[in-house]
Amino acid sequence: MKLNRALIVLVIALAIALVVVVASTLQPRIVEAGDTAPDFKVVTDQGDTITRAQFGGKLLVLNFWATWCPPCIEEAPSLDQFQREYGPKGVVVVAVSIDRNEKLYRQFLARTSPSFQTFRDPSADISESYGTFQIPETYIIDRSGKVLEKVISNQNWMDPEFLKRVQQWLS
């Protein structure tokens, strides 16, 4: 009798633990400012291998976008200008496209010739690991891998207030 009760209690405890573990894996992780950024490894269209942990010891601007996203296209020129001006000061912009259509992606790059690093992730594995569910979405990541700021939606990357924060992060 005692053994049966103990086994029943043990089975119930294990079942509860299993439900908790499974439920926690079903919740998407959403990366916020202050979190450690998930690691990733890409070989960009420019031929550079970049990981979250190894990108030249610079300030990483990880931008998720797509060619079919009007706000993404709208912010691209200022993001390009930001890379041109702040790249030499210690900023690396990596734009990760979630485009499934490679032809449209390549046409956009040929038309705009961005100065920043680009990569196409049609399965959206990297953006999913960050909990990105709308685009554009950008993570500013410091040399140690900490997310300093998360930018949801498009922005003017040359905005003076934003550039003040960038200067502080670089110093």
What percent of the chain lies above the pLDDT cut of 90? 63
What confidence score (pLDDT) does residue 139 get?
A: 96
Q: Which residue has the tokens 């912010």?
A: 75
Position 55 confidence tier, pLDDT thresholds 50, 70, 90: low
d(CA 80, CA 76): 6
Q: What is the mean pLDDT of residues 126-154?
A: 93
d(CA 136, CA 73): 9
Q: Which helix (H) or strand (E) holds 21?
A: helix 2-26
Q: What is the mean pLDDT of residues 107-123?
A: 94
CATH 3.20.20.140 applies to domain 31-170? no
Is the pTM higher than 0.75?
yes
d(CA 101, CA 4): 59
Residue 23 has pLDDT above 70, yes or no: no
> E strands of 26-142, at which residues?
41-43, 49-51, 59-65, 91-97, 117-120, 137-141
Evaluate whether 102 touches 23 at the Cβ level (below 8 Å): no
Question: Domain segments of the chain: what residues?
Answer: 31-170
Tens-digit pLDDT profile for residues 58-102: 899 999 999 999 999 999 999 999 999 999 999 999 999 999 999
Q: Which residues pair with 42 in a beta bridge?
A: 50
Q: What is the mean pLDDT of residues 137-149?
A: 94
Cβ atoms < 10 Å from Cβ of 170: 13
Cβ atoms < 10 Å from Cβ of 99: 20
Position 158 confidence tier, pLDDT thresholds 50, 70, 90: very high
- 3-state SS assignment for residue 38: coil
Position 33 confidence tier, pLDDT thresholds 50, 70, 90: confident
Evaluate whether 65 touches 96 at the Cβ level (below 8 Å): yes
Structure token pair of residue 137: 């979405």
